[in-house]
């Protein structure tokens, strides 16, 4: 289907922009505070997780899954084997039944989606002209798209609820040798295979609404030309498979293992893996998450300082070219300040959580501050000399 587009043109005066920029300063301050908190908390979280995994690595006991030993009660154990079941899992609505660890129903609905594209041009005198193009197309989505928030909702209304919910159905009992896996662990087992739906799979109670199409249930009129509100339902089957677990043994099942470091260990991976390999993988995941959150903290701080300095660029926008130059300059300053303060926050957190590394990083930050000040002074001298 061809997309529909609407164009809106708005003009904003220089005084209005100044007012918005001043309000943005408060939001910028809030973002900076959030960035400081996030960066400091993240370092503590990272250290705690590192120490937790290190403690667990030294305490874990690898056992075989074929017997439950009372000697390991309460200990951190590592078990690998086949997660299996004798149960049949059934979706009561679509009457799909399979011998499996779990059966996943995936529901998508055909809906309108709004895409926004903005082009902004500065005007002499500090005003701004914004041309916004709203494009409406239809697509399959697993979540409700709220059309009441659309700029042009008329003719682009979506249903307010899905005809069916996405849902996961579990086997009543899943075993790992002599052990029983808790539901939460079964939920983390991946590697499902798509289940192909045939015309004979359509249950009588919903045969007037649904049909088999392209290996899925199609709920609606013509699957070749779907309308807004139509749905398609697919299934994923997770069959018995090999898994590896590191957790606390409690009777014949598993619970999270609490460490002296303050964290807990409750690991589950598909496949046969040694305890050492699982801990290495988890430590690597911890490092990746730490760097992602550091980047998020830095970006929040950069946005915050950019918003604080934005009134300067708006004031200079009386002459558009001058405003662009000032905006670029404040952007560089915001970047440098955010970088220095992010590193300083991390250094302070490290001094609190791991002193040796923290002091080293603090020295690096001080050197960066000195170099940054030196460059700013050098760049300021030519400007002073030329003015004189």
How far apart CA 32 and CA 38 sit, in angstroms, is 10
pLDDT of residue 319: 63
Does some domain include residue 110? yes
**Domain's final residue, options 245, 273, 301:** 273
User: Residue 47 is encoded by which pair of tokens?
Assistant: 């250290």
pTM equals: 0.81
**Domain's final residue, options 273, 303, 319:** 273
pLDDT tens string 289-342: 999 999 999 999 999 999 998 887 777 666 666 667 777 788 888 899 999 899
Does some domain include residue 4? no
Confidence band, pLDDT 50/70/90 cuts, at residue 14: low
pLDDT tens string 258-299: 999 999 999 999 999 999 999 999 999 999 999 999 999 999
How far apart CA 106 and CA 222 sit, in angstroms, is 20
Does the pLDDT of residue 376 top 60, yes or no?
no
| Angle at alpha carbon of residue 61, lines to 56 and 64, rounded to 5° | 140
Say whether both 28 and 171 belong to one domain.
no
Domain span at residue 221 reads 61-273
Say whether both 198 and 305 belong to one domain.
no
Does some domain include residue 116? yes
Going 84 to 88 to 91 to 94, the CA torsion angle's sign is positive
Question: CB under 8 Å, gap of 24 or more: what pairs does 258-261 form?
Answer: 259/51, 259/52, 259/55, 259/56, 260/55, 261/48, 261/51, 261/52, 261/54, 261/55
Does some domain include residue 2? no
Say whether both 120 and 262 belong to one domain.
yes
Say whether both 212 and 257 belong to one domain.
yes
How far apart CA 126 and CA 149 sit, in angstroms, is 30
Cβ within 8 Å of residue 239, ≥6 positions away: 99, 100, 101, 193
Say whether both 217 and 323 belong to one domain.
no
How far apart CA 295 and CA 301 sit, in angstroms, is 10
Confidence band, pLDDT 50/70/90 cuts, at residue 157: very high
Say whether both 138 and 87 belong to one domain.
yes
Q: Strands 76-84 and 61-62, how do they pair? A: parallel
Our count of domains for the chain comes to 2
């Amino acid at each position: 289907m061809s997309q529909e587009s609407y164009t809106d043109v708005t003009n904003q005066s220089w005084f209005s922009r100044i007012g918005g920029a001043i309000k943005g300063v408060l939001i910028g301050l809030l973002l900076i505070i959030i960035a400081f908190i996030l960066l400091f908390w993240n370092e503590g979280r990272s250290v705690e997780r590192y120490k937790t995994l290190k403690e667990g690595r030294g305490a874990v006991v690898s056992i075989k899954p074929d017997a439950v030993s009372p000697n390991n009660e309460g200990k951190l154990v590592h078990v690998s084997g086949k997660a299996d079941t004798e149960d049949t899992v059934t979706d009561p609505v679509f009457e799909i039944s399979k011998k499996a660890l779990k059966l996943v129903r995936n529901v998508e609905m055909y809906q309108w989606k709004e895409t926004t594209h903005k082009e902004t041009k500065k005007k002499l005198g500090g005003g701004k002209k914004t041309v916004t193009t709203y494009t409406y197309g239809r697509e399959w989505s697993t979540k409700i798209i709220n059309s009441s928030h659309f700029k042009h909702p008329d003719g682009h209304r979506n249903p307010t609820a899905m005809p069916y919910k996405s849902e996961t159905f579990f086997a009543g009992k899943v075993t790992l040798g002599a052990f029983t896996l808790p539901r939460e662990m079964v939920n983390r087992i991946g590697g499902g295979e798509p289940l192909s739906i045939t015309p004979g799979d359509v249950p009588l109670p919903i045969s007037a609404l649904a049909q088999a199409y392209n290996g899925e249930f199609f709920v609606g009129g013509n699957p070749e030309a779907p309308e807004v509100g139509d749905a398609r339902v697919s299934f994923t089957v997770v069959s018995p498979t090999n898994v590896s677990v590191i957790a606390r043994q409690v009777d014949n099942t598993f619970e999270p293992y609490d460490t002296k470091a303050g964290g807990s260990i409750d690991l589950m991976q598909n496949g046969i893996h040694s305890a050492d390999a699982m801990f290495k993988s988890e430590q690597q995941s911890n490092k990746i998450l730490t760097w992602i959150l550091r980047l998020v903290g830095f970006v929040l701080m950069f946005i915050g300082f950019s918003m604080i300095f934005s009134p300067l660029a708006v004031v200079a926008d009386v002459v558009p070219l001058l405003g662009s130059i000032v905006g670029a300059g404040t952007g560089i300053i915001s970047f440098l300040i955010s970088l220095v303060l992010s590193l300083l926050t991390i250094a302070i957190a490290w001094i609190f959580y791991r002193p040796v590394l923290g002091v080293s990083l603090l020295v690096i930050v001080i050197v960066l501050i000195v170099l940054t000040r030196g460059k700013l002074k050098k760049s300021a001298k030519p400007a002073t000399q030329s003015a004189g």
